[in-house]
Every structure is written in C-alpha cells, then in structure tokens.
Structure 1
Amino acid sequence: MTFHRAHLRAATAVLLGAAIAATTPLAAFAAPAGSPAAHPGGAETITTSATVDQPLTQKLGTYGDTAGRWTGADSAYSVPLPGGKIAWLYSDTFLGTVNADHSRPTDSPFIHNSIVVDDHGTLTTHTGGTAAAPESLVRVPGGDEGQDWYWFGDGTVEGNHLRVSLLEFAKTGTGSFDFAFQRTAIASFSLPSMRFEGITQRPAGLVEWGSAIYEDGGYTYVYGVEDLGATKYLHLSRVRTGHLTTGSWQFWTGSGWSADESTSARIMSGVANEFSVTKFQGKYTLVTGDTTEALSAKAVMYRSDALTGPFLNKTVLYTTPETSGNVFTYNAKAHPELGDRDTLLVTYNVNSFDTADVYSNVDNYRPRYVDVDVRITG
C-alpha cells in the first residue's frame, strides 16, 4: 500500500492549505449572496445527546472480522435500494482477513473503492477483479491504479439503476502529497444485480461534485466542495430527477440557477469533503466534520430553511473519542434512512498518520456509527 486517502487529504489540508489557497484562482466562482447572520433560521434552540449505535457497530464489525472479505474502509455513504436493502459506498478499502489479535495482515489487499450491500442483515462486498486478486470496483478507463483512481461520493437510485458519484484523482509527482483532483463522473450499476454498467463523465472543473445528494421537488440536488486545502467551500447544483447522467445541470449562483458552472456560488465554508444534507425536523440539515479547526474531532450540524442555504446555528453533535496522537477522525455525515424523527444516525471515519496503527488494530481504519438524539425548540 502506498498511500491512504485520509493521510493525503487531511494532511494536505493542514500542511499545504496556505500554499494551495495562495495559488488557486479564487475569482473563479461567484460570492455568496447576502449575510447569513440576518437569517431567521438561527433562532432554534438545540440540545443533543449521543450514544454508539451498537447494532450497526456489531453487524459491520463482525462482518469485517469474520467474512474474509471487507475489513475496513472510509467514506461510508449509504443509499437505500429497492426492497429495503442498503448500499454502503466506500472509498479506500482494505480486504482480506483479520488476525486473532484484531490486527490486520500487512499484505492485506488495498483498493480505492467498493460497495457493501446489506440485504436485511446479509452483507455482500462488491469489488472489481477476483476474490484472489481484487481491484477497485470502478477504475479510471485506461488508467493505472497507482497513478489515477476514483474515490466515491454520494449516490442515488434512478429507476433500476444505482448512480454513484466518482471523484477522479491523479498523481502529479513522486511525493506523498503530489496528487490533484481531475474531474467528477457518475458510475451506474444495474439493480438488483449490482452489475457495473459504465461511467458518465462530467466536464472538468474545480468543484468536487457529489459530496452529498438530495432528491427534492422534481430535482436531484448535488452538493460539491471547492477544496482549497485548509479552506473548503460548499457549492450546489441540480438536475431533473431521473436524469443525473443525461440531463443538463444547473448551478446555484447565490440568487438563481445558471447553466454556467463558473458562476457557481460559494454558499459557506467549514464543510468537509464529505457530508450530508437531509430534511430533519422541518429544516434542511447539513452534518459535517468541522473543518474550521485543523483535524477537528467535532461532528457538527447546520440548519437552513432552503436547500441553497444559508446554513446556520452550528451545533456540535458529537466529539469523537478516538482523536488522539496520530489517530484522527473525519467526514462525518448523517444517514436519514437509518435514523428517525428525533435521531440522526451519524457515521465518521477513523485513520492514523502512522500507517502501523491501521495494521496493529483494524478499528483504527473503520467507520463509526453514532445515534444522536436531537431536541429542537423555537
């Protein structure tokens, strides 16, 4: 294994953020409209309490320990499938077995994306290649996995197809931090077989589209991140429902919608590369790791009356206990199909800057699952 997603992106945010911000053309996007401080959405009073979701922790932990297939990954988006199934979308993924002492063999296969389908408690891992020689489920056409790869974003179901956002990255040199975002694409899988159908490319641009997807009012809303390292900006696009791979995308300008991606507005900063936007207790609710602090242990929530924001009333949902020394956490998000009216099921990823940690204990590279009880008044 030559690198981990979280090592690259989290470390880059801390060490290279200032340099990236200084060299990236900031004028490429429109400024957000208005002042969020004046928005009435901040009037809510919110109290929270959180506990580990034991059923999910045990189910996926037992599968990782005993199935001889998936042993850990990051991202952890979930997409409800027809028939009550759940597709867990993962990016960098370890495969193979787990040792009796809960360590990970140092020769464990490592790929850049996978999907685990939960069919009413029966889990199945989908990858490319073969069981003996696994490969990423989706590979860049004509690419070399060591030089050019896809990480997964959020997904959605359109008819008998699962659509999954793809973020293409490529190495730009020999150093650990020599890599760059290339473009966004969409992978399609037939349902229920999960057969890979192909890739629909998107035009190259600076926004990593697919950080969150939300279906509402005849549109598929696709959120993205303009990643400048230490600073990350939220953007929003939309396309007619059912036409993610075939329709014309529009981009929120701060005051309306445009077919010109260069007019896309920065809605807010402080989001992670992965997050969620859902309708929860009457408002649009954004859950993310707090990137206003370097390598923050906080999963936070923002609220808005509109999908376009502004997102206000920042509330800490959970402070991750794993964050200490070389171990860090990142990319918190909510999963509405796994919560209820009063509870957000929140996942986050765990990793370490010391690669030895992810081998000595498999839990140092596995998602976590937390139930957050949210009480809102006002």
Structure 2
Amino acid sequence: MKRLTLVCLYICTALSQSIAQTKSVNLTDLKFTVEEAPEWSALLKRSTGWFGGDGIYTIPLNGVESKPSGPHIKTLFIFSDSMIGEIRDNTMAPGFKMIHNAVAVLNGNKPIAAQIKFYWDTDKKGEAESLFIPATPKADSSDYYWLGDGFVNQANKATYIFGYRVRNVGSGPFGFREVGNTLIKLAPGDQPPYKDAKQMDTPLYLTDGKNEIGSFGAGIYVNTKGAGAPKPDGYIYVYGVTGMAKNLSVARVLPVDFEDFKKWTFWDGNSWIGDINKAATVTTGVSNELSLSALPDGRYALVFQHGGMSTTVGMRIGASPIGPFGPVIKLWDCKADLTEKTFVVYNAKAHPTLSKPGELLISYNINSLEFIKDLKVHPNLYRPRFIRVKFQ
C-alpha cells in the first residue's frame, strides 16, 4: 500500500509540474510570413478523372508524421465528396458523377502531376463509386462516408482512417447529418480499391440534449518516437469537434490499444478519464477538420478554419497537444477566392510531412452553396487551395 501511495504521489506531482510548465509557455507571439503555394494548388487542378473534392488529409505511408517526407516516401491523400468525369470547353462534360470519398497516392514530396495517381471504385455498371461504403452493424443502406483524419499505426503497420457516417435528411446544401463514427482499417500493403478493408463502429460519437453532435477524428497527432514527434510520450492524440460552437476536445490512446475503445481516455481539464461525456472543451471556434503540428520552437500549431466556415485560416498556439491554447492568429484571408457570392471556404489544416523544414504547408477547401450550377461555370472550383507559412 505504501508503494502504491508513493507511485500515485509521484504521478500527481509530475502532472502538476507539467501543467505548471505549459502555463508559462508564450501562446501569443509567433514570427512568420505566409504566401500562396500555387504549385500545390495546381497539383489538384485536373480536367479528367478526379477533378474536384474536399476533405483532404495526407498520410505518410512510412508512418513518420512529424518530419518532412523524403523523395522516396509515398503519401496517401484522402478526400471526401469527389467529382469524377471530364472537363471540356471549360465546363463539366455530360456523365460526371459525385462520389462520397476517394484517395490519391503521391510518390515523393514534390507537387509533380506525373507522380500522383487517383483512385476510386466502380459499381456493377462500371460507373464511379466511393471507395468506402458503410457496412457496419449500425449502418443504414442510405448512409455514406465522409473521411476524417488517418495515420499508419507503427504498432501493427495498419492504416487507420476515421469514417463519419452521414445520412441525407433534407434538401439544400446542408441537408445532411452525421449519424455515427466508424474506424476503417487497411491492412499493411493493402492497395486501392481496398476490398478487404475492415470497418468498426466506434463509441466516439455523441449527442447532447440540444441535439448537438460531437465526433472524434477531426485531427490526429501521433506523439511517438517512431512517428518522429519531437517530444514523444507514446500516445496517439485524437481530436473531436462538437456543436455549432465548434468546441474542441481531446482523446488519447496507446498505439497497441487503438482498436480497444475501452482503453481510450479523454482529457477532462485536469486528468485523463474514461467517460467521453466528461471530455473538456480545450478551445472553441475550430473547424470540423483541422490539424495539430509541432512547431520548430517546441510549441504546437492548431490549424483550422476559424468558426468552421469563414474566410480566415486561423491558428492557435498550444503549449502541449492538449493545450492550453492561445488566441486565434490570423494566417490567411481567403476572400480573394470568393469571386461569387455563393462560394464558401472551410476546413483548413496543415500537412507537415509535405512541408519544408521551418515551414508549414496548409490547405483549405472551396465549395459553393449552388454546387452543380456553379461547377458548370467554374468546373475547377471544387478543390483544395494551398498556402505556405514560413517561421522566422
């Protein structure tokens, strides 16, 4: 009993010291410049096959998440809703189709069109189809997946991707609702169209009395030595977003326990607990897709579209993967992209493995509230744009 008491005292003391240290970190000042990254934006400007999509996340297939990739590393791009077809005479040719998710694989770390290949599935008629279609016990036949973040788990070399189970509940640009959270597992070496992918319903989805939805998988930070994290503690941090206020919460789990949801814990503001409903809000005003990246000076960059859907690509500086986080730092104003009143921007995030040392490559999505109508006139509208932040 005495030994157990000493161990508990040591853990509590270490936690208190860690919290005290993070509170002393400067969360407001950061010297940087920012510019467009046109070569990366041009990589996804295409006229045949995949010619538009959103939801972009990038996963280095060697599992090294926090360091720039080398010329021999493959990167998996994952997209949600995607347009498949052809652009001719500056409009979408007849026969185009929107599917709900697709991927691409980039060879190397440079935006070279000849080095990227896009993948989707086909149905019995030979028409384009989503790669991942809900097939879990909780799935309805009308459900489809939008994809969250993913990573290669070095504990078993499998690739894990979060799938948000979405259902249409009405008409118009916002006539949909997320109804569940799924984990998609790709075996080591599995190739598109991923016919052997495993799908698991997760408990990482919640609603409250106000019918506000929360779900985890908006971003992942792999804080392990194998992933190249500068201050590894051995855990995988998974970020969740809840409600219209875009409240951010944090879960963590060891790599070997990633599929054992009973071993997931949630930060309640003081300690890690097993009750998802008591997860604390560590900051607000983020977006449903985001990223957390280590900065060169030891702090962390939380990158997001401020408020979910605005013209501001924002960043909060964090003292640790769970915060505390400072005020919003405006990185970029996307107003120049809104050449029509119906255009919107959303879901900014960073891609550290495609960034050069001392820089952070960031993407944001562009869409339209009158989707098909605007795409007939602006067929290359619906694709990510990139900016580059250089730290001084």
Determine whether 1:86 maps to 2:80: no
Calculate percent identity across the aligned residue pairs: 27
Quick check: 1:111 aligned with 2:99?
yes
Equivalent residue number for residue 152 of structure 2: 157
Task: Indicate the residue corresponding to 1:314 in structure 2.
Answer: 328
For 1:193 and 1:97, locate their aligned partners in 2 and report how far apart those are by CA, in whole Å. Answer: 28
- 1:264 and 2:271 matched: no
Q: Aligned to 1:246, which of 239, 255, 260? A: 260
- Gaps spanning 5+ residues in structure 1: where? 1-37
Corresponding residue for residue 357 of structure 1? 374
**Contact 1:42-1:313 at 8 Å conserved across structures:** no
CA distance in 2: counterparts of 1:106 and 1:317, whole angstroms:
39
Partner of 2:8: none
Are 1:298 and 2:312 matched, yes or no?
yes
Match of 1:72 among 35, 52, 66: 52
- Partner residue in 2 for 1:48: 32
Q: Does 1:148 align with 2:124?
A: no
TM-score, normalization: structure 1?
0.81
Q: Is the 8 A contact 1:41 1:312 kept in 2?
A: no
Structure 2 spans left out of the alignment, 5+ residues: 1-21, 63-71, 109-113, 208-213, 224-232
Q: Give the partner amino acid of 1:303.
A: I
Match of 1:368 among 385, 389, 392: 385
**CA deviation string 1:2-49 (max 9, x = no partner):** xxxxxxxxxxxxxxxxxxxxxxxxxxxxxxxxxxxx944345532332
Select 1:125's aligned residue among 106, 109, 118: 118
Q: Are the structure 2 counterparts of residues 360 and 107 from structure 1 closer, same or farther at C-alpha, using a change threshold of 3 Å?
A: farther
Output the CA distance in 2 between the equivalents of 1:44 and 1:326.
34
C-alpha separation in 2, matches of 1:213 and 1:268: 16
2:236 aligned residue (203, 206, 220): 220
Structure with bigger gyration radius: 2
1:98 maps to a residue whose letter is I
Which whole-Å CA distance do the structure 1 matches of 2:279 and 2:23 have between them? 21
1:342 aligns to 2:338 (yes or no): no
8 Å contact 1:41–1:303 — kept in the other structure?
no
The Cα shift of 1:333 comes to: 0.5
- The residue that corresponds to 2:183 in the other structure is 186
Q: Deviation at 1:316?
A: 1.0
The alignment partner of 1:364 has SS state of coil
Tell me the distance in 1 between the aligned counterparts of 2:38 and 2:173. Answer: 36
Q: 1:104 to 1:245 in 2, by over 3 A?
A: farther
CA contact (8 A) 1:53 1:369 kept: yes
Change (3 A) 1:192 1:53: farther
Distance (Å, rounded) in 1 between the aligned partners of 2:179 and 2:310: 27
Q: Distance in 2 between matches of 1:59 and 1:156?
A: 22
- Indicate the SS of the match to 2:356: coil
State the Cα deviation string for residues 166-209 of structure 1 (Å, max 9, x = none).
Answer: 11122335666443221211111234332342101102423211
Q: Quick check: 1:171 aligned with 2:168?
A: yes
Give how far 1:243 is off: 3.3
SS of 1:224's equivalent in the other structure is strand
**Alignment counterpart, residue 280 of structure 1, candidates 285, 291, 295:** 295
> What is the CA-CA distance between 1:99 and the residue it aligns to?
1.3
Tell me the CA shift for residue 154 of structure 1: 0.4
Once residues 251 and 57 of structure 1 are traced to their aligned partners in structure 2, the CA distance between those partners, rounded to angstroms, is 36
**1:70-105, CA deviations, whole angstroms, 9 ceiling, x for partnerless residues?**
11100111110135001111001001112142x223
Name whichever structure is richer in strand by fraction: 1
- Report the AA paired with residue 153 of structure 1: G
Q: Alpha carbon RMSD of aligned pairs, Å?
A: 2.4
- Give how far 1:125 is off: 2.0
1:102-124 deviation digits (Å, cap 9, x = unpaired): x2235411111111111235222
C-alpha separation between the residues in 2 aligned to 1:267 and 1:198?
A: 32
Equivalent-residue separation in structure 1 for 2:116 and 2:189 (angstroms): 14
Shift of 1:134: 1.8
Moved more, 186-195 or 305-314: 186-195
Q: Which residue of 2 aligns with 1:25?
A: none
Task: Measure the CA separation in 2 of the matches of 1:71 and 1:190.
Answer: 28
Report the residue type matching 2:98 in the other structure: F
In structure 1, what is the equivalent of residue 87 of structure 2?
Answer: 98
Separation of aligned partners in 1, 2:257 and 2:27: 37
Is residue 137 from structure 1 mapped to residue 131 from structure 2 by the alignment? yes
TM-score normalised over the length of structure 2: 0.78
Supply the AA of the counterpart residue of 2:279: S
Secondary structure of 1:357's partner?
helix
Amino acid at match of 1:371: R
Q: CA deviation at 1:341?
A: 3.4
Question: In 1, distance between residues paired with 2:328 and 2:301?
Answer: 10
